[in-house]
Amino acid sequence: MPGKGLIVRQRSLIAITAALAAGALTLTACGSRDDDGGSDSGNGGGGGTTVVIGVDAPLTGDLSALGLGIKNSVDLAAKTANKEKTVDGITFKVEALDDQGQPSVGQQNATKLVADDDVLGVVGPLNSSVGESMQKVFDTAKLVEVSPANTNPALTQGVDWQKEKVRPYKSYFRTATTDAIQGPFAAQYVYNDAKKKKVFVIDDKKTYGAGLAATFTDEFKKLGGQVAGTEHINPDTKDFNAVATKVKNSGADVVYYGGEYPQAGPLSKQIKAAGAKIPVVGGDGIYSADFIKLAGASGTGDLATSVGAPVEELPSAKEFVANYKAAGYKEAYEAYGGYSYDSAWAIIEAVKKVVEDNDGKLPDDARAKVTEAMQNVSFDGVTGKVSFDEFGDATNKQLTVYAVKNGAWGSVKSGTYTG
């Protein structure tokens, strides 16, 4: 028999492996890269100069349903601009990168987009946490970024936005409304219209989810509602039974979830299975057909707020919906399709302004000029009037409540939060 030394070595191997395991637990990114996501956007344009519109969104993994809708909608905008020769002498191309919903990957993508001189604007990302990691990279390069989906207020109004609004980055814009409006809007609907008085608040601790849950809770308490309990889930797991049992025993009559549909769906299902037949309410992050798929039949009656008025019902969106269908994309445009199209179109409008001011050519400092022009962009887009306020936020602050009915989201009420 070998001596004692081997025993020690064996134990230390277990120690190394345990450490590896613990480390790997925090590193759960396993999706694969989809770098060849760039698509050719038709060559109907006037030839000459090519301008690339970058896209950064989760194209694989759990959130890909939303991400692919963003990518396709931007692609449609570029194709339309090329076909209609919106900007003389400029052909738009789309370069789509996959961030897998991971801030670190998003930052790498931002660096990559900055390195490509043809990129004059970027649409994306989906997640506020990813947006946070990309802002500085773009701002240093003076490259304009328009997010169709980030709703965390701090991105445009600074971390102390509740006390004093300070815009951190001049190159960052968004067409989506912020959670400073979305959370309270949801609270008003839940308290006044749905008549629920006792809420259990759950979030996933991410920038978006935690921020949204906080603005909801503040307004709900202000209205006189009661918070029966709070919980933070671990987005890497799918067993929420312990939380569901807590919700059931708290006596809450409604659950508010700050987070996204990959967790919200199973969470809703498990809460109902535990015996709490109460609606789960969430923000734009759960407003996806995949939520209904994951939540199953018991998801009927769950609510979500999302940015803007329902695209299907807007007269201004008819053309977009028809064109999207005609283009034959495999994936639906989902919650942010209209906003992504408008974000891309805002970039196209800004490029147009810059080119027109420079005798039909792109200036040398095109990126800085486009960023400057973005501040004053104003046009009638898919989702209504598109323009930005002094923080880079959309001036259109419409929101809509949707409910799950017969296996689909149906709009219930549109409006905005006025304080």
Partner 1 sequence: MNELPQQLVNGLLLGSMYGLVAIGYTMVYGIVQLINFAHGEIFMTGAFGALTVYLYILPDGTSMLIALPLMLIGAMVVSVTVAVGAERFAYRPLRGAPRLAPLITAIGLSLALQQAVWAWYPGAKSKISFPQIEGGPFHIGSVTIQTGDIFLLVAAPVSMAILAYFVMRTRTGRGMQATAQDPDTAKLMGVNTDRIIVVAFALGAVFAAVGGVANGLKYGDIDFRMGFILGLKAFTAAVLGGIGNIYGAMIGGVVLGVAETLATAYIADVPGLDKLGSQSWADVWAFILLILVLLFRPQGLLGERVADRA
Which of 270, 259, 268, 265 shows the shortest CA–CA distance to 234? 259
Residue showing tokens 């002498």? 89
Among the listed ranges 9-17, 151-159, 185-193, 354-362, the one in contact with partner 1 (CB under 8 A) is 9-17
For partner 1, the binding residue among 40, 88, 236, 312 (CB under 8 A) is 236
**258 contacts partner 1 (rule: CB under 8 A):** no
Pattern 149-188, partner 1, x by CB under 8 A: ----------------------------------------
Contact of 65 with 290, CB cutoff 8 Å: yes
Residue 95, strand partner residues: 54
Q: DSSP assignment of 205-230, as one string?
A: SSHHHHHHHHHHHHHHHHTT-EEEEE
Which of 110, 117, 215, 112 shows the shortest CA–CA distance to 172? 110
For partner 1, the binding residue among 174, 269, 352, 353 (CB under 8 A) is 269
**1 contacts partner 1 (rule: CB under 8 A):** yes
Among the listed ranges 79-87, 109-117, 266-274, 277-285, the one in contact with partner 1 (CB under 8 A) is 266-274
Q: Which residues, including other chains, have CB under 8 Å from residue 56's CB and lie 6 or more apart?
A: 96, 97, 99, 106, 109, 110, 113, 122, 123, 124, 125, 130, 134
**61 contacts partner 1 (rule: CB under 8 A):** yes
**CA–centroid distance for 256 within its chain:** 18
Among the listed ranges 62-70, 80-88, 136-144, 397-405, the one in contact with partner 1 (CB under 8 A) is 62-70
Report the interhelical angle of 337-357 vs 318-327 (nearest 10°). Answer: 100
For partner 1, the binding residue among 85, 205, 325, 413 (CB under 8 A) is 205
Separation of alpha carbons 416 and 324, rounded Å: 28
Among the listed ranges 1-9, 350-358, 360-368, 398-406, the one in contact with partner 1 (CB under 8 A) is 1-9
Could you tell me how many residues of this chain bind partner 1 (CB under 8 A)? 53
Q: Between the CA of residue 374 and those of 57, 83, 114, 344, 383, what are the distances in Å?
A: 21, 23, 18, 11, 18
Separation of alpha carbons 52 and 65, rounded Å: 23
List the end-to-end C-alpha distance of the chain, in Å, as a whole number: 78
Q: Give me the amino acid identity at 25.
A: L
Q: How far is the CB of 232 from partner 1 (least distance, A)?
A: 4
**234 contacts partner 1 (rule: CB under 8 A):** yes
**62 contacts partner 1 (rule: CB under 8 A):** yes
Nearer to partner 1, 32 or 358 (CB): 32
Contact of 317 with 311, CB cutoff 8 Å: yes
Among the listed ranges 10-18, 44-52, 85-93, 252-260, the one in contact with partner 1 (CB under 8 A) is 10-18
Contact of 111 with 85, CB cutoff 8 Å: no
Nearer to partner 1, 28 or 104 (CB): 28
For partner 1, the binding residue among 118, 165, 232, 300 (CB under 8 A) is 232
For partner 1, the binding residue among 66, 194, 199, 274 (CB under 8 A) is 274
**132 contacts partner 1 (rule: CB under 8 A):** no
Among the listed ranges 55-63, 96-104, 145-153, 377-385, the one in contact with partner 1 (CB under 8 A) is 55-63
**385 contacts partner 1 (rule: CB under 8 A):** no
| Residues lying near partner 1 in the complex (CB under 8 A) | 1-2, 6-7, 9-11, 13-14, 17-18, 21-22, 24-25, 28, 30-32, 60-62, 64-65, 204-205, 230-234, 236-243, 245-246, 248-249, 262, 266, 269, 273-275, 290, 293-294, 296
